[in-house]
Structure 1
Amino acid sequence: MENERLLSILSYSSIFYCPLIVPLVVYFAQSNEYAKFHAKRAAVGQTLVIGSGLLSFLAFFMIVFFASEMTETFASVLMVSAFGIFSIVALAVSVWSIIMTIRVVR
């Protein structure tokens, strides 16, 4: 297996062990366009997961700090929807990363 393919596999599978760091290192350290292309795609997907996670934590802290000004129903809808969106995005990007890893292997 060529080094470019191995670096691409590491970029996609890093969502499970070191998200966003490995694709960025591969992107900036590698001169091969194939590896850079896949590292950029992996970084975008992993940024979506991290961004949605940060938004769900923001919703959690809004509920904690502004609980007295919110109704209980609004707070629970906000929390469930924020963590629901995060879960869906994380699951979708994880499945996409697995599929792309398998495609690069072939």
Structure 2
Amino acid sequence: MTAQGVFLLNRNQAIIASICYFSVFLAPLILPIVAYFVVDEKETKRHAMRALISHIIPFAGLLIVIAGVVGGVITAQGESMVPFFVMITGAAVYFLILIAMVIWNIVQGIKVLRQV
């Protein structure tokens, strides 16, 4: 720990932590969970948990969008265009959140690697 309260990771810890963030492209939930339970270092576990939470957020949003689409289709039955616009807006918001989370994971992975 430095004077500013920042934990420094050794090279192996930094690589594992960055892989947790970059796993958004490969195995979004599996790698952070495995790293969290396998690695003993507290700071690497913290990064694994942050990566896991950032991977869960888009999945939760996807479930909400799917529920909205199903609910909109069931209730609309061709009567109104309002549910259609709500579904499109929900999907657009979901994709914006998804893009933001992917960018955030890339930035965090690079930050962790640059600490070494």
Whether the 8 Å CA contact 1:7–1:35 is kept in 2: the answer is yes
Q: Output aligned runs, 1:46-85, within 5 Å.
A: 46-68=55-77, 71-85=79-93
What root-mean-square deviation, in Å, do the aligned CA atoms of Structure 1 and Structure 2 show?
1.6
Give the percent of matched residue pairs that are identical in Structure 1 and Structure 2: 25
* Corresponding residue of 1:37: 46
- Offset of 1:73 from its aligned partner? 2.0
SS in 2 for 1:72: coil
TM-score, normalised by the number of residues in structure 1: 0.89
Separation (CA, whole Å) in 1 of partners of 2:64 and 2:79: 20
Gaps of 5+ in 1: none
Q: How many residues align?
A: 105
Separation (CA, whole Å) in 1 of partners of 2:84 and 2:74: 14
Q: Which has the higher helix share?
A: 1
Gaps of 5+ in 2: 1-9
TM-score, normalised by the number of residues in structure 2: 0.82
- Offset of 1:71 from its aligned partner? 4.1
Whether the 8 Å CA contact 1:56–1:83 is kept in 2: the answer is yes
Higher RCO (C-alpha under 8 Å, 6+ residues apart) = 2
Separation (CA, whole Å) in 2 of partners of 1:99 and 1:15: 12
Q: Deviations over 1:1-53 (max 9, x none)?
A: 72211111110001111112211111112111121010011111111111111
